[in-house]
Chains A and B, each alone.
Chain A
Amino acid sequence: MELTKKILKKLVQAVSKSHHDEIGCDDCFDQLDTFAQMKLEGKTPEEAMPLVEDHLKRCQDCREEYEALLEAMKNVA
């Protein structure tokens, strides 16, 4: 596979921000309802749960699920 400069830059950015404390998709999912609940109540889960926030920035599927969860809950409130 060939890498373009743009792709390599993206990879280096991801490498640069990597750290040992990252949580995986399972841990993120376990805490996602709590994170979303705080957001729905106008609190700041980004500060209270930084590892979940970090994972949501890195993982496209988890981010998509979080955003869909917020959207869903706004419509049943």
Chain B
Amino acid sequence: MLDWFKRRFTQESSYETNEEWIKALSQPVDERAIELLRSKLIQGLKPALHKYVDRELDQFVEDVAQDALLKILDNIDSFRGESKLLTWAMKIAVREGLTELRLKRYDDSSLEDFKHPGEGGREELTSLTFASDLTDPEQATHEQLALQKVLKIMNEELTAKQKQAMKALMIEGLSITVVAKQMDTNRNALYKLVHDARLKIKNRLEVEGIDPDDLLKRM
């Protein structure tokens, strides 16, 4: 019995270093290492995700850990060893869980406008009279003109896709994971699309002689 405990202790503690983990998780895979990693993922995911899951947390976390394990094993060769292996593995598991939750939340929601793009001229940024909180009428007029200018620049410079993405992300505050899925793209490409849009606006403001920081001070 004592030998069994000693062996078990030695086996589990032997996954302390990255090298040991990598060896155990590479082919031929050490099943004990997988079980240990699974239990650690579950142990970490529960407190990290509990606020996002309203029921059946245990089952959800176990499913996420299982899906994450497959990705971890598939990608073990890409681990560069710049963190502890468990941190790297947990990163994959956390993204797996949160992505599923975001998409589930979106499926359950009633964001019909976003689900059916093109209805109601939704991509157009419309002009409107901004209610100013400035007491000086001259300042308020300046502010109105500046804001209308920004609006005009956005309408002239941005593509329909950029407007759609900026609206969803920056105005409606939707998850980039969800918006990427709806726009048939991925997070990275969508971020780049919006990044390019921001730079276009910034560049045009500079050409027009408008300093965005000055503009903000006047708003």
Answer whether A9 and B91 are a contact pair too, CB < 8 Å, given A1-B123, A72-B48, A73-B44: no
> How many angstroms from the CA of A50 to the CA of B117 in the assembled complex?
36
Given A5-B219, A65-B94, also A15-B212 (CB < 8 A)? yes
Interface residues on B, range: 35 or more
Nearest chain A CB to B167's CB is how many angstroms away?
5
Instruction: Tell me, yes or no, whether B59 is within 8 Å of chain A by CB.
Output: no
Residue B175 interfacial (CB < 8 Å): yes
Contact status of A22 and B195, CB under 8 A, knowing A34-B82, A40-B87: yes
Residues of chain B within 8 A of A31, CB atoms compared: 82
Q: B137 in the interface, Cβ–Cβ < 8 Å?
A: no
**CB atoms of B83 and A33 under 8 A apart:** yes
Q: Do the beta carbons of A25 and B188 come within 8 Å of each other?
A: yes
Determine whether A47 belongs to the interface, using a CB cutoff of 8 Å to chain B: no
CB closest residue in chain A, given B210: A12
CB atoms of B87 and A73 under 8 A apart: yes
- The segment out of B5-13, B23-31, B196-204 that lies at the interface is B196-204
Q: How far is the CB of B141 from chain A (nearest CB, A)?
A: 14
Query: Are B125's CB and A1's CB within 8 A?
Result: yes
Q: Which residue of B lies closest to A34 (CB)?
A: B82
Quick one: which of A12-59 are within 8 Å of B by CB?
A: 12-16, 18, 20, 22, 24-26, 29, 31-34, 36-37, 40, 59
A32 to chain B, nearest CB (A): 5
Taking a contact as CB atoms closer than 8 A, the residue among A5, A15, A26 that contacts B205 in the complex is A15
A76–B90 touching, CB < 8 Å: yes
- Which of B205-219 touch A at CB < 8 Å? 205, 212-213, 215-216, 219
Q: Is B45 positioned at the interface, with any CB of A under 8 Å from its CB?
A: yes
**Chain B residues with CB under 8 A of A74:** 47
CB within 8 Å for A9 and B82 given contacts A61-B175, A69-B48: no
Q: Which of B93, B128, B191, B212 has the most CB of A within 10 A?
A: B191
With the chains together, A33 CA to B219 CA distance in Å?
A: 39
> What 7 A-B pairs come out closest when comparing CB atoms?
A72-B44, A37-B83, A16-B212, A72-B48, A33-B83, A18-B198, A25-B187
List 11 additional contacts besides A1-B167, A8-B151; criterion CB under 8 Å.
Answer: A7-B171, A12-B212, A14-B170, A15-B198, A15-B201, A25-B187, A64-B98, A65-B94, A68-B98, A72-B93, A73-B87
Q: Which A residues fall within an 8 A CB radius of B? A: 1-5, 7-16, 18, 20, 22, 24-26, 29, 31-34, 36-37, 40, 59-61, 64-65, 68-69, 71-76
